[in-house]
C-alpha cells in the first residue's frame, strides 16, 4: 500500500514544520564559527608528550582508555579502508556515543576538525581537534558478518561488529551495549537517489584524526574494511597514539564553535566538577 507523504497529506503542517526547521537552521548557522579558523595540532608529537603507542593490525580491534587531558590520534597507513570507533564514558559505561545526536546537534553528518562526538546524555565525549582527511562516515556504520558475505562471499574474515562484541565482553558489556559507530577515513556520501556511496578520494598514509577526551573515556577501535570500500585487499595497520594535550579552556574553539557545543560542554563541565569533588 502506498502511503501519502507528509507533504501531500497535510501540506499546512508540513509547511509550518519546514519553516521552523529553516528558521532554526539559519539561527544556528549565524552563530556558528568558521571552522577554517581552527589551527589544529602539530603533525609531529614530541616524545615527552606521548603516553602510549600501539599499532593495530588489519582485522583486529582494541580498547583504549583515554583520560581527560589526553588525545587519541588515529594515523592511517597504506590501503586504509576505514577505522571504526565507539566511545564510552569510562566512569559509567552505560553512557556512550550517540551518533544520531552527534549528527542532529551539529546539523550535519559531516565530521571534521572542530566537530564533537556526543554521548546519549548530551555530554561531549571527545572533540576532533585536528583532521588531515576530512571525510568520515557517521551514517553507514562498520562491517559485519553479513556485509562480509555480500562483499567477499565469505563470512570467515574478521569484522567490526564481532570485534566490538569481543571488546564489550572484556569490559562486562553485551551486544545491547554496542551502539552505531563512527568510521574515520571512510569517505561515504549520499548520492542524488539517497543511496550511500564511496567517494574516490582515499586517505593517504600518514593522514590522522585527533580525538581529545573531554572526560575520561574508553574507546573501542576496529581496523576492518568498511562495507562500501571498493578495495578488497587486506587493509594496512593503523597507528594509535595517546598524547598529553591541554584540556579545553574557556576560549577553546571546539567549546565555542556553536550554541550546541557550548551547551554540551556545560553538561560535561558539570560532571567533571562533580567527579573532581568526589575525588577530593
Same domain, 134 and 184: yes
> Does residue 43 fall inside a structural domain?
no
pLDDT at 277: 66
> Does residue 38 fall inside a structural domain?
no
Same domain, 24 and 58: no
Question: What is the total count of domains within the chain?
Answer: 2
Same domain, 112 and 172: yes
pLDDT at 1: 45
> Does residue 39 fall inside a structural domain?
no
Same domain, 18 and 52: no
Domain that holds residue 140: 48-279
Same domain, 7 and 140: no
- Strand order of the β-sheet with 70-75 is 50-56, 238-244, 70-75, 208-213, 124-131, 116-118
- pTM, two decimals, is 0.87
Residues with pLDDT less than 70, the chain: 1-9, 25, 27-32, 277, 279-280
Amino acid at each position: 500500500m502506498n502511503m501519502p507523504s507528509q507533504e501531500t497529506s497535510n501540506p499546512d503542517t508540513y509547511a509550518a514544520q519546514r519553516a521552523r526547521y529553516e528558521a532554526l537552521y539559519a539561527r544556528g548557522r549565524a552563530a556558528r564559527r568558521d571552522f577554517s579558523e581552527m589551527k589544529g595540532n602539530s603533525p609531529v608529537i614530541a616524545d615527552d608528550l606521548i603516553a602510549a603507542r600501539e599499532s593495530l593490525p588489519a582485522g583486529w580491534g582494541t580498547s583504549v582508555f583515554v583520560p581527560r587531558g589526553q588525545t587519541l590520534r588515529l594515523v592511517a597507513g597504506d590501503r586504509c579502508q576505514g577505522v571504526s570507533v565507539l566511545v564510552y564514558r569510562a566512569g559509567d559505561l552505560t553512557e556512550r556515543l550517540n551518533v544520531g545526536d552527534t549528527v542532529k546537534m551539529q546539523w550535519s553528518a559531516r565530521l571534521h576538525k572542530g566537530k564533537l562526538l556526543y554521548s546519549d546524555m548530551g555530554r561531549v565525549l571527545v572533540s576532533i581537534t585536528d583532521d588531515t582527511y576530512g571525510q568520515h562516515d557517521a551514517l553507514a556504520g562498520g562491517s559485519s558478518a553479513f556485509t562480509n558475505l555480500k562483499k567477499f562471499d565469505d563470512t570467515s574474515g574478521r569484522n567490526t561488529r564481532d570485534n566490538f562484541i569481543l571488546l564489550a565482553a572484556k569490559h562486562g558489556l553485551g551486544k545491547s551495549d554496542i551502539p552505531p559507530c563512527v568510521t574515520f577515513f571512510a569517505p561515504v556520501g549520499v548520492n542524488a537517489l539517497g543511496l550511500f556511496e564511496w567517494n574516490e578520494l582515499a586517505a593517504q598514509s600518514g593522514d590522522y584524526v585527533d580525538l581529545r577526551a573531554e572526560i575520561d573515556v574508553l574507546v573501542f577501535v576496529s581496523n576492518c574494511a568498511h562495507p562500501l570500500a571498493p578495495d578488497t585487499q587486506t587493509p594496512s595497520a593503523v597507528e594509535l597514539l595517546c598524547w598529553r594535550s591541554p584540556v579545553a579552556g574557556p576560549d577553546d574553539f571546539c567549546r565555542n564553535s556553536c550554541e550546541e557545543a557550548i551547551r554540551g560542554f556545560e553538561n560535561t563541565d558539570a560532571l567533571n566538577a562533580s567527579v573532581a569533588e568526589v575525588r577530593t
